[in-house]
């Protein structure tokens, strides 16, 4: 959960400043705490490999989703798989 900003430096000075100032970890922690307060189960899933996969292309063609919706769908499926592992 705490390995969020992996790319530390890019060639642009303004981009580096924006990356360093953005409080992504705090936003994620706040969202997790808020979800627990509201009674939701939180499952953190690594989204790596969802956009460039065969499943992604198949879902885009079959369901008619755009690529972002298809990626969100695959991430949700990964979460359900993790949930089934715990049961």
| pLDDT at position 7 | 61
**pLDDT tens, residue by residue, 18-52:** 777 777 788 889 999 999 999 998 988 988 888 88
Cβ atoms of 41 and 86 within 8 Å: the answer is no
Q: How far apart, in whole angstroms, are the C-alpha atoms of residue 31 and residue 85? A: 24
Cα–Cα distance list, 28 to 24, 62, 85 (Å): 6, 32, 24
As given in the structure block, the two tokens for residue 41 are: 């189960």
Average pLDDT (3-19) is: 70
Cβ atoms of 1 and 44 within 8 Å: the answer is yes
Domain borders along the chain are 7-42, 43-87
pTM, rounded to two decimals: 0.65
């Amino acid at each position: 959960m705490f390995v969020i900003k992996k790319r530390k430096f890019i060639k642009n000075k303004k981009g580096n400043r924006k990356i360093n100032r953005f409080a992504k970890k705090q936003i994620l922690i706040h969202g997790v705490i808020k979800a627990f307060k509201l009674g939701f189960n939180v499952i953190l899933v690594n989204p790596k490999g969802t956009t460039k996969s065969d499943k992604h292309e198949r879902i885009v063609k079959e369901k008619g989703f755009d690529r972002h919706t298809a990626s969100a769908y695959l991430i949700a499926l990964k979460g359900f798989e993790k949930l089934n592992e715990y049961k």
